[in-house]
Structure 1
């Protein structure tokens, strides 16, 4: 509140002075001294000693930001030397560091004051709260333990199944174990809620303490699910980390203990103390929890430093020559960075008690999770590198060289992925603790350019390798005499030349794309390639045009096999598509082969949906509203036919009078249909519409012929004699 008050006064002061300068009005003067309050404030700011005293008073009140907002910075001189500027920058940096160190020192000296908020009655409050929550806690924990006991048996079976299965089964069982563990927590949490709502207190109501506990239980146990997912103490074959069962159980129990202390302490104990004692007592309890967790973590690091070093060094520990290098040195002395980090956390706890501690712990948890996930993925990739790629026997028999190609490429790719994962883990960890702003860097111009370049180059290389692998595998399959038709000598020569030429072309094109993505000028290379392409184009112009047009048509997904299209003036069903031509069969059964070079437009009648457009002509004497109602009634009758209704996507769209013909008024409507069914539905609608028009005596006109006998200039024409008796006899 004091901070807000001072900031408000500063903003009010700046507003008043700005308005005064704009209106050229003198500020009100003090009747005793004859000076305005603005003059007094300016005099204080200009006097160095008075300003320093004001700054110190405001800082002692805990308002460094307000001080910086109130005290204006002196404008830099316009003409200073480069050395002077460097000196001023270093001076400002040194002063900032000194101020920060002094501020941290003051906060550390004041840290013990945080515990002054403890009144001594916190234990009684906690015992009372636990007594109120005893039934809910016992019910939730019993349900959770029973379900966990059943789940451990299921995890053991999953582990045995994963041990005997392949990679796909292991991944599926790993995901199933994670889902099962999460469902167990949700069921126990729901049981606790049901117990609190139905059995305790008034029916249908739940107390705030019970809600705090149940929410804390859900969040803490879900965090423990993530820990168990990585360590898998009950399923050896599903464990991502290469550690023993004993080490897994040990780590899981200790990490879950820390998670439980932090989670239940911050989410349950601290809110209870805040609500029943004071916020100062809550801050003190939060600090004690943080100190206890840090002490436990430091003890775990010191106790297990040798075991972790041996695990990091692996088989090299038992070798005759001790491992050397930066990584080996870091593996032996890993506990020093860990202890340094924990001590830094201890300083943060002392300097920033309260919610900031919990936020710092969350950041540390993110660092731990990122590290474990990264290490798990790296370990999984290492196992894949050792195993290699094993193709099914059928594929290996058809393409015998494919497995060797994959096993020569996959280890290199996995090694690069491990390096990328390590860099990502380091960056995410630094971002979690606030040392770098990873998101800000990635949205910057340089970050976007660098990440875009890396992704583009990786995608180009991956696509090029996939194309090369597919091409060479297809050639190997065609040359395999055990499957399909035995290739002749001419075919073997042509296929080998095709593979070599395509490989060279693919390497050249890929290199050009990579150089272009890096930012190098490839214009000279493109010019050379253009000359070569021009020579090829003159030799096979028509075929090149067919192929290029076919590539674009298929890339744009203009038509597929089975579509009804109009191509090159021919309408029919697509029966075959190649890179050079399309084959259609029209309604008369004629088979058309149309090269893509003669295609300038593709009309697809079965893409997404189709419309049947009904242009109905009626006599001029008919009422348009009556005809409209007849067409709507015919559509309703059509919708009653189950064979036609499932192909109609929307109601009848009525457009009204479309045109006036020689013999009829043209009325238009249309029906939205499933693609490909608009013609059948249109024929069915026409049949129903004819029946409705006949029943309502609505005329559908047809051409009439008028007989003209001619006439003379006097206006006389020849007479027409009708035999009425004969007509009556016919009737």
Structure 2
């Protein structure tokens, strides 16, 4: 899901809280606002809510079942069937009998209660308006000369504190910019330290100006070592308001983009900081300085009027800002959402040339009058997100209108409670958005390990990038859920603290935390074991693993993954509250049934285990299994995977393996069966084979593979066309085939040089003899040289000589 929560969460969480507080007649106001009804109104409401005995008796008499029960009980008491003192108990039972109502009646009662609640809420608002009709009328009693005289004693302190603050700000602004430049190139941890340092420096400037103002008030104004009430009010207001501005500057960072927590341009950040400073200054200094001075020096009524006037000014100012910048804000939200959507849909987006009217699609040009990219971002985003983005200002204006009603109809304490509740929701949404944005950046960048660790553990980084994004997505959902629950808690629809303190809350939260910890520990163990196996198998670090180590470690990885998955699932289910005893018993029965039904599978596994115990083959060995010869590429407890010389991949289950022929144990032999003509001297051929072996030992590519002398076996067999002599060479295992090919090449060259015939298969024509010794004559015709024709035939009976391969008969 795109970063909808990261950009729309502050607005919609606030809107949700305040709109729901309007819809809840009692619950929400009980949490945010103090009760407005008087004690007499509360007693009247309680008396009206509690049904009287007459109304209860009337309901019972209307219901046939209750009426019959009442009559039977009264008859039993009057006839002496029971004591008279049971009348009270009978009355209580009668009161507990609820008449059975139809579904329509119940729906009518529900709608009636909702309508009555809304009417009561509206009536309360109207009465608040009528009761506070003179709220702004208190401004008529405002005496401006008295107010000006009050502020004259503060001019010196105000000028000094503001001048010192402005001077120190001008001095440290270049420092902010340097810190921002460093933060742009810094890693995440160093950026956090730079952010904390810049914020602390900004707060130190405010504290220094405040301290200097206090010092001047103590030493130069009024009595020595005493601070006047007006100076104390201003200095406290200055400290609180400017610290709030420090927090705002820490978020938007108008001076530098490197330390900015929100994705804004420099001009947008400066404008946002300026507008927020205006609101904070008017509300802060007005409520903390102006209103208390008016209350003390003029009247409390005038103070209420000033407080309401300041609030209305801020609301009008905010309405003007929302209306003026509604398109800019909508475009900013749409760009963020579309950028996030592109990053999620494309792992490696390709850069495309900018679309022009000539290259834009005809439909887009016809619909918009230009390229599709020329439309504002808020119009390019479709669906529900686009609708919410384009109408965000209506939610903001609704909230501001609601706050106007509160300011006009409620007291200052109620307005303060509403503002505090709104601030809590806004702060939670802002913090949640920042956390979600940081998580989104972590998802895009991934985990990057140092080069040395990547060299030792080359597969650790891909594994972390496969697990960490899932954890971050889960964390992002949890942050969003936490913000929503906190909002519901603030508006009074859900008691978050009470739920956590309840037995059910403790049980659910404890089990969720336990399951999360089990999953995290299992993931950490899996990463650690796999990293250790990768380290052992990495030939670049430490010693080169043997083939048996490679095979056993590979099998260990698979077996450990299966065992860890089973144990993790068992522990997680046990923490959730499921009884795993029946599950284990069922798994045992299922395993027994599978064992009977899949005997071949059991045979595969048992045979494979014993093959591994006997070290019959390892990964990389050349073996013959089930009539197939190839290189072992993969070994499991059930099968072996071979790649033959043609590149065909074979998977052979161990149940079909009767014999394993391994060509890679300890040493190998190249056996040379050499055929020579019957007329050749065997001793001459033997010497030629030894000479070829001596030449082979001088080959730089093959001499390291020879671990023994040439073994001469002698004349091995008589063939149809050749006499076969045998010799063999002891080699390093696995090199016998390459070394044999090199030896054959040398031997062919030496035999050709010495005239030793290597016969090819041929036949000798024999004409049979009669008993008297006569043979049939072979008719031959002499042909002139160069003549040819259909009757021309080869002289198959002629002797071609000893060096051309012929054989006299």
**Residue 526 of structure 1: CA displacement?**
4.1
Does 2:198 correspond to 1:180?
A: no
Does 2:580 correspond to 1:522?
A: yes
1: distance between equivalents of 2:494 and 2:312? Answer: 26
1: distance between equivalents of 2:263 and 2:140? Answer: 49
Paired residues for 1:148-167 under 5 Å: 148-167=169-188
**Residue 261 of structure 1: CA displacement?**
1.2
Paired residues for 1:452-491 under 5 Å: 452-491=510-549
1:292–1:431 CA distance, 2 compared to 1 (3 A): farther
Aligned mate of 2:96, from 69, 75, 78:
78
Does 2:101 correspond to 1:101?
A: no
1:165–1:186 CA distance, 2 compared to 1 (3 A): same
SS at match of 2:380: coil
1:94–1:449 CA distance, 2 compared to 1 (3 A): farther
1:528–1:289 CA distance, 2 compared to 1 (3 A): same
| Range that drifts further, 166-175 or 509-518 | 509-518
2: distance between equivalents of 1:67 and 1:288? Answer: 35
Correspondence for 1:406: 464
Correspondence for 1:611: none
Correspondence for 1:427: 485
Does 2:569 correspond to 1:511?
A: yes
Correspondence for 2:395: 337
Paired residues for 1:122-161 under 5 Å: 122-161=143-182
2: distance between equivalents of 1:312 and 1:530? Answer: 56
| CA-based RMSD | 2.7
SS at match of 2:96: coil
Correspondence for 2:278: 257
Does 2:266 correspond to 1:289?
A: no
Q: How many residues align?
A: 475
1: distance between equivalents of 2:96 and 2:443? Answer: 63
SS at match of 1:112: coil
1:408–1:122 CA distance, 2 compared to 1 (3 A): farther
| Range that drifts further, 521-530 or 240-249 | 521-530
1: distance between equivalents of 2:563 and 2:586? Answer: 13
**Residue 433 of structure 1: CA displacement?**
4.4
Aligned mate of 2:408, from 326, 330, 350:
350
Does 2:228 correspond to 1:228?
A: no
**Residue 129 of structure 1: CA displacement?**
2.4
Aligned mate of 2:41, from 57, 64, 80:
64
Whether the 8 Å CA contact 2:283–2:310 is kept in 1: the answer is yes
2: distance between equivalents of 1:447 and 1:60? Answer: 33
Correspondence for 2:73: none
Whether the 8 Å CA contact 2:141–2:302 is kept in 1: the answer is no
Deviation track 1:679-717 (CA, whole Å, cap 9, x = no partner) reads xxxxxxxxxxxxxxxxxxxxxxxxxxxxxxxxxxxxxxx
Does 2:258 correspond to 1:237?
A: yes
| Range that drifts further, 345-354 or 520-529 | 520-529
1: distance between equivalents of 2:456 and 2:152? Answer: 72
**Residue 159 of structure 1: CA displacement?**
0.8
1: distance between equivalents of 2:156 and 2:492? Answer: 42
2: distance between equivalents of 1:73 and 1:357? Answer: 32
TM-score computed with the length of structure 2 as normaliser: 0.55
Correspondence for 1:116: 137
Deviation track 1:263-287 (CA, whole Å, cap 9, x = no partner) reads 1111111111111122222222211
1: distance between equivalents of 2:582 and 2:446? Answer: 41
1:391–1:88 CA distance, 2 compared to 1 (3 A): same
2: distance between equivalents of 1:267 and 1:162? Answer: 36
1: distance between equivalents of 2:429 and 2:512? Answer: 23
Aligned mate of 1:190, from 206, 211, 217:
211
Aligned mate of 2:222, from 195, 198, 201:
201
Correspondence for 2:327: 306
SS at match of 2:161: helix
Whether the 8 Å CA contact 1:230–1:376 is kept in 2: the answer is no
1:270–1:437 CA distance, 2 compared to 1 (3 A): farther
**Residue 93 of structure 1: CA displacement?**
4.2
Correspondence for 2:9: none
**Residue 61 of structure 1: CA displacement?**
7.7
1:530–1:293 CA distance, 2 compared to 1 (3 A): farther
Whether the 8 Å CA contact 1:389–1:406 is kept in 2: the answer is yes
**Residue 68 of structure 1: CA displacement?**
3.5
Whether the 8 Å CA contact 1:233–1:252 is kept in 2: the answer is yes
Paired residues for 1:488-567 under 5 Å: 488-527=546-585
**Residue 396 of structure 1: CA displacement?**
0.8
Deviation track 1:214-239 (CA, whole Å, cap 9, x = no partner) reads 11111111111111111111121111
Does 2:329 correspond to 1:271?
A: no
2: distance between equivalents of 1:99 and 1:510? Answer: 56
1: distance between equivalents of 2:491 and 2:143? Answer: 32
SS at match of 1:177: helix
Deviation track 1:6-64 (CA, whole Å, cap 9, x = no partner) reads xxxxxxxxxxxxxxxxxxxxxxxxxxxxxxxxxxxxxxxxxxxxxxxxxxxxx998842
2: distance between equivalents of 1:299 and 1:423? Answer: 33
**Residue 424 of structure 1: CA displacement?**
2.3
Whether the 8 Å CA contact 1:367–1:433 is kept in 2: the answer is no
SS at match of 2:382: coil
SS at match of 1:486: coil
**Residue 311 of structure 1: CA displacement?**
0.9
In structure 2, the gaps of 5 or more residues are 1-35, 57-94, 340-371, 591-809
1: distance between equivalents of 2:567 and 2:388? Answer: 43
Whether the 8 Å CA contact 2:142–2:302 is kept in 1: the answer is no
1:170–1:72 CA distance, 2 compared to 1 (3 A): closer
SS at match of 1:118: helix
In structure 1, the gaps of 5 or more residues are 1-58, 533-731
**Residue 436 of structure 1: CA displacement?**
4.0
Deviation track 1:291-314 (CA, whole Å, cap 9, x = no partner) reads 111111111111111111111111
1:228–1:392 CA distance, 2 compared to 1 (3 A): same
SS at match of 2:256: coil
Deviation track 1:557-594 (CA, whole Å, cap 9, x = no partner) reads xxxxxxxxxxxxxxxxxxxxxxxxxxxxxxxxxxxxxx
Correspondence for 2:723: none
Does 2:452 correspond to 1:394?
A: yes
